[in-house]
Amino acid sequence: YEVCKRLLRYQPHVISIGSNFHPKREFKDGVFFYRINFGKLYTRVFKKILGWDVYSYNDRIFKLLKKIKPDILHIHNYYNSKELILKVRMKLPFVKVVLHMHNMSSKIDSTFPEVDCFIGASNFLTREYKKFLKAKIFKTVYNGVDLKKFLTARAQKEDLRKKIEKVPNQKN
């Protein structure tokens, strides 16, 4: 999200699993959000009891992708994306696919479809995936932290101390 809102040449759309804390659709800071929910009845009957996923997460994503028609599909740490990538390659061939991983997954192997770019969160990950994954470009992008948003423990303690000092003494 932090990177998406800084994109200038593209209109970012974020598709993710829904939650009770966020709306199903939202436009915030120049980014479109789509959150995919699975109802309790669907999950219980189809997935758990019958073992079917008649309208899978990948199917729901692909339906949105057909509407959005993105230039780039950035798949962020999603292991079950093999079926999705195959659909995109067949039905939306103009879309560039970027796979961005933060850890190893046994679901991504030499049978995984080729991606345009692979991004690993460390040199180790990039080297390991390069051994079996097909990609035109391999890059490493380290995880970053916005220091303005995350205070150190010492800074938090000082902040708290200043707030406490501002509270007037109360005598009983």
In tens digits, the chain (172 residues) has pLDDT values of 677 777 778 889 999 988 888 999 999 988 999 999 887 777 777 777 777 777 788 999 999 999 999 999 999 988 889 999 999 999 999 999 999 999 999 889 999 999 999 999 999 999 999 999 999 999 999 987 776 666 666 777 777 777 777 766 666 5
d(CA 162, CA 156): 10
Angle between helices 57-68 and 82-91 (to 10 degrees): 30
pLDDT for 62 equals: 95
d(CA 164, CA 151): 18
User: Encoding tokens for residue 86?
Assistant: 């195959």
User: Which residue, 91, 104, 43, is CA-closest to 63?
Assistant: 91
Considering just the CA atoms, what is the radius of gyration of the chain in Å? 21
pTM above the 0.85 mark?
Answer: no
Q: Which amino acid is at 112?
A: F
pLDDT for 103 equals: 93
Sheet holding 31-36, edge to edge: 13-17, 31-36, 25-28
pLDDT for 167 equals: 63
pLDDT for 4 equals: 76
